[in-house]
Amino acid sequence: MASALACHPPSVDSADGDQTHSGCRGGPDRDGPRVWHMAIRPATLWGLLPHDVQQAIVSDLQTIVSEVIHV
């Protein structure tokens, strides 16, 4: 079974790092995973959110991560 790193190496040749990947389709006759650029970059979307919505998201994520760590 191929590891995630073999399917999606950390250094993808691209101008920016915001990309999504299809499933690993490796093999001797394949060029590697297909890569699509994201239609909306996360940083752009985050910047468009009102401050109170950002704070609510941060608070929710802190709660979730805290619960996972302490389980």
pLDDT digits (tens, 9 = 90+) for 48-59: 999 999 999 999
CA distance 55 to 68: 20
Of 16 and 68, the one with more pLDDT:
68
Shared domain for 23 and 46, answered yes or no, is no
Shared domain for 19 and 51, answered yes or no, is no
What pTM was computed for the model? 0.47
Tell me the residue range of the domain where 7 lies: 1-39
The answer, yes or no, to whether residue 23 has pLDDT greater than 80, is: no
Shared domain for 7 and 28, answered yes or no, is yes
Angle at 65 between CA 18 and CA 4, to 5 degrees: 45
Q: What is the pLDDT of residue 37?
A: 83
Q: What is the pLDDT of residue 34?
A: 75
For 28-39, what is each residue's pLDDT tens digit?
A: 555 567 778 888
What is the DSSP-derived secondary structure letter of residue 6? H
What is the DSSP-derived secondary structure letter of residue 8? S
Q: What is the pLDDT of residue 35?
A: 73
